[in-house]
Structure 1
Amino acid sequence: MRVKKFEAATMPEVMKKVRSELGADAVILNSKVKKSGGFLGLFKKDITEVIAAIDPSDEHPSTFGTARAVEEKEGQAPTVNPNHEIMEELKHLRSLIQNRKEVYPENLEIAYEFLLNQEVSEDVAGKTIERLIEKGGSFDDLSEIENLLRLELYESMKQKRFGKPAFDKKFIHLVGPTGVGKTTTLAKLAAEAALNHQLDVGFITTDTYRIAAIDQLKTYAKILDIPLEVAYSMEDYKRAKERFQDFDLVLVDTAGRNFRNPSFIRELHKMIDFDEESDNFLVLGLTSKFTDMSDIFEQFKDIPIHQLILTKADETARKGNAVNMVLTHDVGVAYLTDGQNVPDDIQTASAMGLASEVMEGFSNERSS
């Protein structure tokens, strides 16, 4: 086993030295930032120190194999490596950390764990921390790290389509699983369009599987003085579109079903015309697991999903799943909803707002 200490001004520079001398399979045993140099105790600089190790069998497998073969050929007993147990321990460590070849500086390790606690995925959290390391810095101050990570998350998401500044398409379709609040969200959008933008709005519902859903939308339609059409078939849907041809905006509610079954997606296609005149929003609850949200998104890949609407933001303090969806599936977020009140509990989403929600309280929590 080879163990060696490396030093450089920044972590990226140290890692270049490690990879250059020991290779990509090296294991980082320890890392720290220390003060070095200076004159009479003054003008000291931050130096990043890393202790790395490599298992010789990983470094030169063919060479060691040849030496063993020569020993056996000459009738000698194979040499027993006295560091066998240590090397086995290193292999075990490497299997545990998997793709994380680097151990982050202490404060960045704290930040990484914080992101995981916010339910940011390991992949997204790791890439975010590594981009920060590549840019360099001492990373001594937690408040500064919070600001840097907020900006890093924003930079990674800012090119996606966030918010919905105007109702520029005539039809809005809300699709998604049952129980995520599609009907209530539809009423909030209708109130926003009618009250704040003075648009003529119409409702269409294709959710004929639940009587309660129709009754709920009828109640909202009556309160907001918005006409409602119930569509049981594609023909009904087309007739409803014709009735609302002179309206500014038509909001369409769809049935919440078990969309793990592809047949339900095909039913949606038979019922609704997802054409270029429409904005199609996938509604997901932030209290759901990221894997479930991803599965649902993949089921809807044959429908052009333009943006997400994320509901139940008031029911969880962790917004990492939203970041995961944006960066993993390359999709923006139009709105976040945080309650049942119509029309109040809905906010236009933004990349900076989402990044801020994820990082909120990081430095305060760690300093308390």
Structure 2
Amino acid sequence: MHIRTFRAASLQDALEEIRHQMGPDASVLHTRQVRDGWMGWLGRTYVEVTAGLKDTVNLKESSSSGDSARQASVGSRRDFDGATEHVGTQLKVVSDRGLPTQNNGLVSRSASPTIPLVMQGYRDEMLSLGVDPETADRWIGATISFAGGLGETTSSVTNHAIPWLEHLQRTIAREVRLGSPISTPPGDRRIVALVGPTGVGKTTTVAKLAAGFRLQAKRRVGLLTIDTFRIAAVQQLRAYADIMDLPMEVVESPEQMRPALGRLGDVDLVLIDTAGRSPRSDARIEQLVDFLRNAQPDETHLVLSSTSSVSSIRATLKGFAPVRPTAAILSKLDEAPQTAGILSALTSSTDHTGLPLSYVTTGQQVPDDIDVAKHDYLLTRLLQPRMDMSPMEAA
């Protein structure tokens, strides 16, 4: 590969020079700001761009042959409006922000050839968080289309004036479904079950919901657990029941479910805590299905940990599909610095149709650290804060 470093007053000028000197197949490998003068003081600021070109592409070395080479490789001359317009539709930009990338840092050919550099950075970040390329490209493409619909040009290299992150958040919000919180109509007993893998915080979430309905909404709440496998699980839930003065039943077999529900009496809401199941254990999932078939819950909320990987969340969604969850609860959201990967797993895909989010939990405090799921809270944590910086500021 032929590698050259170009210095110019702006990134736009540097990319123009790269196109003239190396043609449309050049790859931008690195960008940074440099300042001349003594130890960087009292000097001017330049943009330094390192570009590479595979050996199979001949460089346009001499000025005498430059015009004909440019005509052969570029075609008709256009004014410089953006990186992809001037280095060609095959321009590959490597993010200079220290973010992990896929495909050796090269932008997928399936991505739009007119993606501004800042959106390239967002795409790289999303891929590093586990968002699959198809979903990332769909979100990026929809965001650019949205900006175009507002009359915002996407032809500039950096597009500092365009609120790209806000547009991306709006795009993703349209795909993330929000469900309704649990309702307790007067005179109608509601049965709600919480299911999910081990360690996602189901019991604590049950306690938070129970406390909220009992202490704040002034509803009569009953607790029921089938989690007799985990050590001290029953004792943990019973402690919450005693503190809040709630009736509680322990069920060890599906046949005991209906009698136990009857013993809870005339309550407004029954919350069922279940044992953690591996989504890959068909036998354990089928056993859970038997319990719930006898309980006949009005709602079944699948609890997912925000700290889980995207692949783990997808496996959980697929594994718990026989339970037919009606909504999802995101737990431990306070421990997840970015939510792009989590949200991508919850949107529709070839494996599932997506689950609406009902609640999020943000800590261990009962009943404070639980909230109804809202787009603004989920999307303000979409990506790393440094993604707000322009490419040159981050260089």
Q: Compute the TM-score of the two structures, normalised by the length of structure 2.
A: 0.66
Question: Counterparts of 2:112 and 2:384 in 1: how far apart (Å)?
Answer: 28
Question: Counterparts of 1:192 and 1:268 in 2: how far apart (Å)?
Answer: 26
Q: Is the 8 A contact 1:325 1:331 kept in 2?
A: no
Residues 165 and 205 from structure 1, CA distance in 2 versus in 1: closer, same or farther, beyond 3 angstroms?
Answer: closer
1:357 alignment partner in structure 2: 381
1:149 aligns with 2:149: no
Kindly provide the amino acid, as one letter, of the partner of residue 155 in structure 1.
R
- Which of 106, 110, 121 pairs up with 2:132? 121
Deviation at 1:363?
A: 5.3
1:223 alignment partner in structure 2: 243
1:166 alignment partner in structure 2: 183
Q: Is the 8 A contact 2:328 2:358 kept in 1?
A: yes
Q: What does residue range 203-214 of structure 1 map to in structure 2 within 5 Å?
A: 203-214=223-234
2:18 alignment partner in structure 1: none
Residues 320 and 363 from structure 1, CA distance in 2 versus in 1: closer, same or farther, beyond 3 angstroms?
Answer: closer
Deviation digits for residues 125-153 of structure 1 (CA, Å, limit 9, x no counterpart): 21111112234233512761122112111
For structure 2, list consecutive stretches of 5 or more residues without a partner in the other structure.
Answer: 1-23, 29-78, 91-102
Q: Is the 8 A contact 2:226 2:252 kept in 1?
A: yes
1:294 aligns with 2:314: yes
- Which of 347, 350, 357 pairs up with 2:371? 347
Q: What does residue range 233-272 of structure 1 map to in structure 2 within 5 Å?
A: 233-272=253-292
Residues 225 and 337 from structure 1, CA distance in 2 versus in 1: closer, same or farther, beyond 3 angstroms?
Answer: same
Q: Secondary structure at the match of 1:223?
A: helix
Kindly provide the amino acid, as one letter, of the partner of residue 363 in structure 2.
G
Deviation at 1:306?
A: 0.7
Residues 309 and 28 from structure 1, CA distance in 2 versus in 1: closer, same or farther, beyond 3 angstroms?
Answer: farther
Q: Secondary structure at the match of 1:97?
A: coil
Number of aligned residue pairs:
290
Identity of aligned residues (%): 30
Kindly provide the amino acid, as one letter, of the partner of residue 146 in structure 1.
L
1:21 alignment partner in structure 2: none
Deviation digits for residues 168-227 of structure 1 (CA, Å, limit 9, x no counterpart): 570110111111110000000000111111110001000111231111101111111111
Question: Counterparts of 2:109 and 2:81 in 1: how far apart (Å)?
Answer: 27
Residues 28 and 338 from structure 1, CA distance in 2 versus in 1: closer, same or farther, beyond 3 angstroms?
Answer: farther
Deviation digits for residues 308-332 of structure 1 (CA, Å, limit 9, x no counterpart): 1111112220212331122134211
Q: Is the 8 A contact 2:202 2:273 kept in 1?
A: yes
Q: Is the 8 A contact 2:337 2:384 kept in 1?
A: no
1:201 aligns with 2:221: yes
Q: Secondary structure at the match of 1:334?
A: strand
Q: Is the 8 A contact 2:224 2:271 kept in 1?
A: yes
Question: Counterparts of 2:161 and 2:338 in 1: how far apart (Å)?
Answer: 20
2:357 alignment partner in structure 1: 333
- Which of 175, 179, 183 pairs up with 2:203? 183
Question: Counterparts of 1:143 and 1:206 in 2: how far apart (Å)?
Answer: 52
Q: Is the 8 A contact 2:192 2:299 kept in 1?
A: yes
1:132 alignment partner in structure 2: 143
Q: Is the 8 A contact 1:170 1:249 kept in 2?
A: yes
Please identify, of 280-289 and 148-157, the stretch whose mean Cα deviation from structure 2 is larger.
148-157
Deviation at 1:240?
A: 1.2
Q: Secondary structure at the match of 1:273?
A: helix
Deviation at 1:262?
A: 0.4
Residues 177 and 311 from structure 1, CA distance in 2 versus in 1: closer, same or farther, beyond 3 angstroms?
Answer: same
Give the root-mean-square deviation of aligned CA atoms: 3.0
Q: Is the 8 A contact 2:255 2:294 kept in 1?
A: no
Deviation digits for residues 142-168 of structure 1 (CA, Å, limit 9, x no counterpart): 7611221121111232xx233416345
1:322 aligns with 2:342: yes
Question: Counterparts of 1:96 and 1:316 in 2: how far apart (Å)?
Answer: 26
Structure with larger RCO (C-alpha < 8 A, sep 6+): 1
More helix by share: 1
Kindly provide the amino acid, as one letter, of the partner of residue 118 in structure 2.
N
Question: Counterparts of 1:163 and 1:199 in 2: how far apart (Å)?
Answer: 18
Q: Is the 8 A contact 2:223 2:248 kept in 1?
A: yes
For structure 1, list consecutive stretches of 5 or more residues without a partner in the other structure.
Answer: 1-26, 32-44, 54-91
Q: Is the 8 A contact 1:177 1:258 kept in 2?
A: yes
